[in-house]
Amino acid sequence: MERFPRQLADIVEKHGGPSLSEIAARMRGPDQCLTPEAMGAQKATRLSFTQSLGRKMIEDRWRLTKQLVNFDANGIGKAVYEIDFGKEKSTYIVRSFEKGADGENIGRRGGAKRDLYGALFFGVASPERIAEEFAVIETRDRVTMRSKSDVLGWTPGTRSARVFEDVVEALANGEQPANSIVRKSGYLIRNGGFIAGGRHGTKSYAGIPDGHPLKSPYFADLFALLLMRGVSVDLVNAMAAARSSKAVPLSENLTKYFGVGNASGQGMCVALQRWPQWFSTWTLVREFCLGRALAISVKPSSPQRQKMLSYLSRAIRYYDYLMPELENFMVPYEEIVRNLTRVKAWVEDDKFFAEGSWEALARHVGASVDKETAETFYALLIEIYPEFADDVATYLPVGMTRQIEYSPEKTVGEFRAKYLSQYHWILRHDMRHSDERRHFWYHSIEHGEQRRGERIIDPHEHFESFIDHISAIQRLAAVLASYDDAVPMAFVMIDFPELAFAAARVESLALDPYKEIQGNLLHKDFSPAQLIRFYLANLGLESTYPLSIRWVPGVLFQGFPTWKEVAAGLGGDWKFTNVIGELV
Amino acid sequence: MQSVEVAVKEISRVGAWALRGLGIEYGVAQRASLFLAWAEAVEGNTIGQLIDYDLRVKKGGVGKFSFDQRSQDWWQFCSAGRSLLEFGPPVIDMLTYAARTFGCGRFDIFDVFDPVFLTSLCQMAAERGIGLIALSKNKDLSVGGLKTNAIQVRKDRNGAVQFSSVVREIPKALAAGKDWAVEAVSAEGTAISLYAYLLSEDVTSLAKSDFEHALEEKLADAYAHGIVVTKEDKEQLYEFEIRTWAPTSDRSRSQALI
């Protein structure tokens, strides 16, 4: 029997309804939700970090004040903002440069040569400190740039190649941009990452005190990216005004429509493998909420059915409106729209509720439509029981920060029987064929960018990034097999110190329902985009569209309420609201 | 010398790759990077030890470490020029095993060139509920930057780890019934002797003031406000990391992004 954290058991008791065992019986197995294919299809839910952050912002009524917005007709200039979290405040500064020639898809190799560069301070920065940080940013030289521990991170960004200039031109002409322009991109600025967590001298996340509004995992990162969204609107408005006296500002609807662009590469696969307790926790909370939604009693007249219909209508409009640049590596949105329409009709059909739950319908959906549509439906099943999901989300920081340790005094026999025996899929996986071990991840001399090479052909295999959990655990098992069962694990680890991390990984996660990805990331046919999409869905991106098997753009915070709404505590229900027709 | 502020997390992240650049395997380097960052935050001047290690490796002065078992809970260990960052964690694992199985354990380690990392390993032991006494004939140990020939570490009732730069108390588990005893100084001149014991007996006996070094507070301060290191040390750390980066080419570029 797998273990469930006490915290989740307490939440089940608090809410009543299905018991822990009833929930557990309906949770999907790792073979259904932790294969790369299944992970790549999963969608953002109420448990995703963007959504959690948004709820906190609205609940605590965070406020943003513009202290300086000064951009010329070409977008060159500076802005300074102050954010009021309630008890704490922060300064955010941004420097905008002339549009670069490199385009958007330059990745990490582009270094600091971005159109925009911002810095989010931990607290309120003095004018002298602001001037000092602007001077650092001004150089845009990633090698020499250094920040300090009073800065949470830097926010590089690039103007959207598809719509930015057209939007400015339209506004300068005194018009809102045409629908045909707006549909091409959900953002004006694409973020180039959040350079933080100690990088270049920025504050270590562990240095953020407990109770700080940005302490939760990913809150600082995502909040900094949200600030870029506001900058993008100020930038187009200021540029248009500088170009023409008849310029108009971007409408409130479009201000809400545009999110902040994102593009992630295959380095995310390495990050995912580095912290197994992260994806294990993300998967647990998702499947736990889904398991409960399936176990809960539903009558034909239950309000949740109406709620589901309403969300499905929004989702259909949302996917119908979007125009991804490419759909070769995903389920095309047209197909998702078609299938969501079918799902909606099934929700309206009483026969699927004869068993008194969502289970029959969920089975039918899983068997009848594509994986991405099914996952959209599952995400909405979590959404329609918000109080439970919000309580479960409080487990995220707890599960993610669990210590990964092994017990040196345990014998080899105990370790094998109790922990290693839980890893059937990995131990039985055949890694002998060269196809199984085709790829490795490495850092390039170009700013350390993560790339994926082929063994034997490409150099630097001996410095490969850790990504191969299968071989690590198989190697541990093979070494342990050469020791007597009575030998303490400490004796093995002093002979093979490089295996301690694998022993810790196995012991710490063995009894968790979701412990390792059920897929071989080295295989010649593995698509990194699947794990990148999984990561981004957990961050909270509703729409991601791979441009290749290793590069996944998407949009964050599309439809997120304006600062005016946030300050008034409004706009909490923003899932799938980012459709112009609905906003106008 | 120019100084520069770095983050604790920066040292552990870059350090993990820097250690690999020095030839240390992934699993060892990943674990060791945490001790490197911890030691730089509370002891300081640790990156220079990596430079020293690099020179040792280049001169062929590094071999395979080995140990002899003297009794069920006593080992003698030859580092063969290896860094405490490499063999320290498995040594603490052995002492954890001994303390949890027999109540106490002892390791004599010979030829330690970088004892500055010892407090970070003591911290690891204490977090596991293991008290530790470290003794050296020479004043080559350090606690929070203070040179000493002895360290004692414990965890108090609230879970805080505390250090003393003198031996405050020899717990009962170490006091009798062994074929070895805690000595005033280590058995041999070049050795550091580590004595481990279960903390339950130790926790209640002495006042907090006796364990005067609150290194966890120093660490928390370093996390919040960064650490000042010399520019040369910071750049050297990055230089070690960059050894692990592959040269680029059109083919390599095609392996990223689109």
Verify whether the Cβ–Cβ distance B27 to A499 is below 8 Å.
yes
DSSP annotation of A201 reads: G
B86 contact residues in A (CB cutoff 8 A)? 497
In whole angstroms, give the CA distance from residue A146 to residue B4.
Answer: 9
Verify whether the Cβ–Cβ distance B94 to A491 is below 8 Å.
yes
pLDDT tens, position by position, A252-275: 999 999 999 999 999 999 999 999
Within 10 angstroms of residue A173's Cβ, the number of other Cβ atoms is 15
Average pLDDT over residues B207-218: 83
Q: How many angstroms separate the CA of residue B63 from the nearest CA in chain A?
A: 14
In whole angstroms, give the CA distance from residue A507 to residue A382.
Answer: 30
Interface size A-B, in CB pairs within 8 Å, comes to 171
**Of how many residues is chain B composed?**
258
Mutate which: A460, A489, A494, vs B, most B CBs within 10 A: A494
Verify whether the Cβ–Cβ distance B246 to A459 is below 8 Å.
yes
Within 10 angstroms of residue B204's Cβ, the number of other Cβ atoms is 8
- So what's the pLDDT on residue A103? 62
Q: How many angstroms separate the CA of residue B131 from the nearest CA in chain A?
A: 16
- So what's the pLDDT on residue A578? 67
In whole angstroms, give the CA distance from residue A503 to residue A413.
Answer: 13
Q: Which of residues 215-234 of B touch A (CB under 8 A)?
A: 220, 223-226
Average pLDDT score, chain B: 91
- So what's the pLDDT on residue A3? 77
Nearest residue of B to residue A446 by CA position? Answer: B248
Q: How many angstroms separate the CA of residue A86 from the nearest CA in chain B?
A: 21
State whether ipTM is beyond 0.90: yes
Verify whether the Cβ–Cβ distance A494 to B93 is below 8 Å.
yes
Nearest residue of B to residue A409 by CA position? Answer: B97
pLDDT tens, position by position, A1-54: 457 999 999 999 999 999 999 999 999 999 999 999 999 999 999 999 999 999
Q: Which of B94, B244, B258 sits opposite A408 (nearest CB)?
A: B94
Nearest residue of B to residue A404 by CA position? Answer: B31
pLDDT tens, position by position, B75-125: 999 999 999 999 999 999 999 999 999 999 999 999 899 999 999 999 999
Q: Which of B4, B13, B89 sits opposite A500 (nearest CB)?
A: B89
> pTM of the prediction?
0.95
Contact status of B93 with chain A (Cβ, < 8 Å) = yes
Nearest residue of A to residue B67 by CA position? Answer: A494
Q: Which two tokens stand for residue A503?
A: 């022993």
A501 contact residues in B (CB cutoff 8 A)? 26-27, 30-31
* Residue B235 pLDDT grade (very low, low, confident, very high; cuts 50, 70, 90): very high
Q: With contact defined as beta carbons under 8 Å apart, do A563 and A63 qualify? A: yes
Contact status of B1 with chain A (Cβ, < 8 Å) = no
- So what's the pLDDT on residue A157? 95
Statement: residue B15 has pLDDT above 60: yes
* Residue B174 pLDDT grade (very low, low, confident, very high; cuts 50, 70, 90): confident
Q: With contact defined as beta carbons under 8 Å apart, do A4 and A10 qualify? A: no
Extended strands (E) in A463-558: 543-544, 551-556
Mutate which: A106, A204, A205, A527, vs B, most B CBs within 10 A: A204
Verify whether the Cβ–Cβ distance A463 to B252 is below 8 Å.
no
Verify whether the Cβ–Cβ distance B25 to A498 is below 8 Å.
yes
Average pLDDT over residues B222-235: 96
Would you state the torsion angle of the CA atoms of residues A558, A559, A563, A566, taken in this order, to the nearest 10 degrees? -120
Q: Which of B226, B245, B246 sits opposite A201 (nearest CB)?
A: B226
A390-419 as b/e, with b when 16 or more CB fall inside 10 Å?
Answer: bbbbebbeebbebeeebbbbbbbeebbeeb
- So what's the pLDDT on residue A484? 98
Q: How many angstroms separate the CA of residue B101 from the nearest CA in chain A?
A: 7
Contact status of B30 with chain A (Cβ, < 8 Å) = yes
| Residues whose CB is less than 8 angstroms from the CB of residue A278 and which lie 6 or more positions away in sequence, other chains included | A272, A400
* Kind and range of the H or E run holding B220: helix B215-225
| Residue-level pLDDT, tens digit, chain A, 584 residues | 457 999 999 999 999 999 999 999 999 999 999 999 999 999 999 999 999 999 999 999 999 999 999 999 999 999 999 999 999 999 999 999 998 766 665 666 666 788 999 999 999 999 999 999 999 999 988 888 999 999 999 999 999 999 999 999 999 999 999 988 998 889 999 999 999 999 999 999 999 999 999 999 999 999 999 999 999 999 999 999 999 999 999 999 999 999 999 999 999 999 999 999 999 999 999 999 999 999 999 988 899 999 999 999 999 999 998 888 889 999 999 999 999 999 999 999 999 999 999 999 999 999 999 999 999 999 999 999 999 999 999 999 999 999 999 999 999 999 999 999 999 999 999 999 999 999 999 999 988 889 999 999 999 999 999 999 999 999 999 999 999 999 999 999 999 999 999 999 999 999 999 999 999 999 999 999 999 999 999 999 999 999 999 999 999 999 999 999 999 999 999 999 866 665 54
B198 contact residues in A (CB cutoff 8 A)? none
A445 contact residues in B (CB cutoff 8 A)? 242, 245-248
Verify whether the Cβ–Cβ distance B26 to A501 is below 8 Å.
yes
Closest among A158, A199, A164 to A182, alpha carbons compared: A164
φ/ψ bin of B178: left (φ > 0), alpha (ψ from -120 to 50), beta (otherwise): beta
pLDDT tens, position by position, A79-88: 999 999 999 9
In whole angstroms, give the CA distance from residue A79 to residue A365.
Answer: 49
- So what's the pLDDT on residue A1? 46
Statement: residue B179 has pLDDT above 90: no
- The sign of the dihedral angle between the CA atoms of A29, A35, A40, A41 is negative
Statement: residue B22 has pLDDT above 80: yes
Contact status of B107 with chain A (Cβ, < 8 Å) = no
Half-sphere exposure at residue B214, Cβ-oriented, CA atoms within 13 angstroms: 10
The CA-based angle B36-B225-A272, given to 5 degrees, is 55
Verify whether the Cβ–Cβ distance B257 to A499 is below 8 Å.
no
* Residue B159 pLDDT grade (very low, low, confident, very high; cuts 50, 70, 90): confident
- So what's the pLDDT on residue A72? 98
